[in-house]
Amino acid sequence: MSGHSHAKTVKHQKGLADAKRSSVFSKYSKELEIAAKEGGDPVFNSKLRMAIEKAKEFNMPTENIERAVKRGTGELEGGKLEEVSFEAYGPGNVAIIIDGITDNKNRTLGEIKQILNQNGGKLVGEGAIRWMFDRKGTLVVSLKSSPYGGSPEGRQNMELSAIEAGAEDIYWHDDDMLDIYTKPENLEKVRKNLEEKGIKTDSVSLNWVPKENIKVDDAARRSCQKLFEALDESDSAQEVYSNLED
């Protein structure tokens, strides 16, 4: 399976180097609050467990995480948050899905429209873009930190282990990083199977994975990156996915 996958997620994570710490924590607080509405125990709520893990990756303080969870379960008073999702075309006809969490859908819609308009993008109707993507569970593992090491033989062993663990598809990037794709409902099962093989996952998430990636010229790529950065800096966008080829 190695090398042939076209289901590569282009996911523009919000990193502490790209946004103020308070902004990043605000985004993850909203994600935790939404996830906790389905139950406050991460043992039984895999969505909450993933949200907690992501927040910890960005060194979000434990007390912040706990407060967000309590707002979600109703133990503390919180805003009336809801999940929203927008579809758009960016420069070079790059397809984009923008997922957000908001307490005011109309305000968020206006903010997203403004960012797109200012950066060569345009909002499109529901369903115009989403058919180009599949909803997938995604696990990222590092070959160098695996039991197999970084050799070509280790690479083959990692692929076999991923397939045995239940991977639907895999994609190598950055030489030693492997994306493992699963059906959303099998995500936790595949992670446990990998752990039993001694393979630690660097991240676990549900993503919109493009069925096909597209190439654009350098000018369009730079314009797309500018658009992605503007969306990342906005409180209106939680996650941004595109079919732009790496």
| Helix or strand (DSSP H, E) at 86 | strand 82-89
- pLDDT (tens digit, 9 = 90+) per residue, 160-182? 999 999 999 998 877 788 999 99
pLDDT of 20: 58
What ranges in 41-165 are assigned the alpha helix state H?
Answer: 46-57, 62-73, 105-118, 152-165
Long-range contacts of 21-24 (CB under 8 A, 24+ apart): 23/233, 23/235, 24/58, 24/60
- pLDDT (tens digit, 9 = 90+) per residue, 7-16? 334 444 444 4
The encoded tokens of residue 242 equal 């595109």
pLDDT of 1: 30
Query: What are 172's strand-pairing partners?
Result: 178
> Contact, 177 vs 141, CB < 8 A?
yes
User: How far, in Å, CA of 92 to CA of 219, rounded?
Assistant: 9
Q: What is the CATH number of domain 134-210?
A: 3.30.70.980
More reliable by pLDDT, 148 or 133: 133
Q: How many CA atoms are closer than 13 Å to the CA of 22, on its beta-carbon side?
A: 0
pLDDT of 235: 86
- Coil, helix or strand for 219? helix
The encoded tokens of residue 199 equal 């393979």
Q: 105-118 and 218-233 helices cross at what angle (nearest 10)?
A: 150
Q: Taking 80 as the threshold, does the pLDDT of residue 91 lie above it?
A: yes
pTM for this entry = 0.82
Confidence bin at 32 (pLDDT 50/70/90): very high
User: How far, in Å, CA of 21 to CA of 15, rounded?
Assistant: 9
Give Rg (Cα) of the chain. 18
